[in-house]
Chain A
Amino acid sequence: MNLFKPALILSFAFLAVFGEATLSAPRHLLGAQIDLLPALMVYAALNADIVTLSLLAGLGGMWFDSLSANPLGVTILPLMAAGFPIYLRRGLILRAAPFAQLVLGAAASALVPALTVLLLLNGGKQPLIGWGSLWQWIVMTAGGAAATPVIFSLAEWSGHALGYQLRTENSFRPDREIHRSRKKL
């Protein structure tokens, strides 16, 4: 089993959570932090196996919640809710098309924060929400949508640069070689 792709996806998730916690430029410029985990879930749902998808939802959610005031584990379910339906229908999705990636990224980036806030409210927590949250939701959706094709390209590039290369098939077969020679009479 090639562990390169799962390791690559989980490393991306780890770095994405770290970046979200340390880089405050989007918050200053746009008023909201962009979450890259939903976009990564879309990539994993379209290009990885179910174990990697589950690991990404579990570990990514836990990493995100550990650096946040969220209760631990609350982000896991929304991430899985965004990735699992895409995984089940991935045979019908044109995964190489940037527009499809953009639309799926937008849908996942809109769904994950909305479900997380719903779970928080359902659990009796009082997150900071108001009319301004609508703007933050739009920024997160648009940011996640824009990030999805970038993540696809980055992952593809990393796969080519660091992963195993596909062995090109040679059409030459020695058993089917035609030996031409003059018959000795």
Chain B
Amino acid sequence: MFKQKNYLALGAVVFVAVVLLSLPTRATARLKLAVASWFLPLFGLANAGQQLPADLADSVLPRRELLQQIDTLRRENQQLKSQAVQGAAIARENDQLRALWNWQKQAPWKLKLANVVMRDPANWWRTVQIDLGSRDGIQTNQPVLTADGLIGRVSTVGYVSSQVVLIGDPNCHVSALVENATHDMGVLTASGPLDTSLVQLSYLASSANLKAGQNVLTSGLGGIFPKGIPIGKIVDAESIEYGLATEARVKLNASLGALEQVWVLFK
């Protein structure tokens, strides 16, 4: 009787696991979001806990330092304003030239700031959760970036949070081009499990003319990432498949290990 109870319990656990694993993808995604929502109160508490020391530090900052900061911010603001005016003029000129050549107008990027609330607890995936969801207009496959460059795309959307799959994860492929004379194109694929700052640039032509330090940008192919978002810099390249193709290592501009705030790009 005692043994029978044990094996009944084992059978029940196996049954639940098999049922969960064989559910349709959509149902699993919904169930996953529902289970993940149990953690939302804890994330709120954790955020408040992280914010508290910063608030305390702000409240005891000396007046002189605050005035210095205001002065620096004013200067930066003026600089940025002049750059924005210059940028607007360049954009107008670009639009006029595009109209002359009957090219489609480039839509300006709309960005929304999000906080990174957690990382994937499993070591074999590279994802993070952000605190924006469908209530904020987030949809799957929206590009996510920092001020330094692209970091990934939205993979799953919940009501108040979303999962972002980062560059270097096997589920995040990015079509990229190298900023050189030949504009060599390749695909950013999975990297090693330990170093989050390096990714592989694969499917490059054998004639690719790559040098260390060359910039890597999104190519705009594939329809997910707009063209021209900075990704990183070439570290080194090697000829593979008996000289039929080239593969390069790219050092990412953004630090994936220290993400706190990110921008979600709306097209």
Contacts and interface: CB of A to CB of B under 8 A. Distances in A.
Interface of A: 14, 17-18, 20-22, 24, 27-28, 31-33, 35, 50-51, 53-54, 57-58, 61-74, 76-77, 80, 84, 87-88, 113, 116-117, 120, 123, 126-133, 135-136, 140
A70 B170 CA distance: 13
Contacts, number: 152
B6 A113 contact: no
Interface of B: 5-6, 9-10, 12-14, 16-21, 23, 28, 31-33, 35-36, 38-39, 42-43, 46, 117-127, 129, 155, 163, 165, 168-171, 190-195, 257
B96 to A, nearest CB: 46
Given A22-B46, A130-B192, A74 B125 contact: no
Contact of B21 (A14, A50, A57, A123): A123
A1 to B, nearest CB: 14
Contact of A72 (B28, B170, B190): B28
A17 B121 CA distance: 7
Chain A CB within 10 Å, residue with most, of B6, B21, B118, B123: B123
Contact of A69 (B31, B35, B127): B127
B122 A69 contact: yes
A167 B34 CA distance: 43
Contact of A68 (B28, B117, B122): B122
15 contacts: A21-B118, A21-B119, A35-B121, A50-B5, A54-B9, A58-B13, A62-B20, A66-B38, A69-B171, A74-B17, A76-B20, A84-B6, A129-B124, A136-B123, A136-B194
Contacts of A33: 119, 121-123
A54 to B, nearest CB: 4
A73 B16 contact: yes
B261 to A, nearest CB: 15
Contact of A18 (B33, B39, B123, B163): B39
Given A87-B6, A128-B169, A68 B13 contact: no
Contact of A61 (B17, B19, B31): B17
A127 B121 contact: no
B168 A128 contact: yes
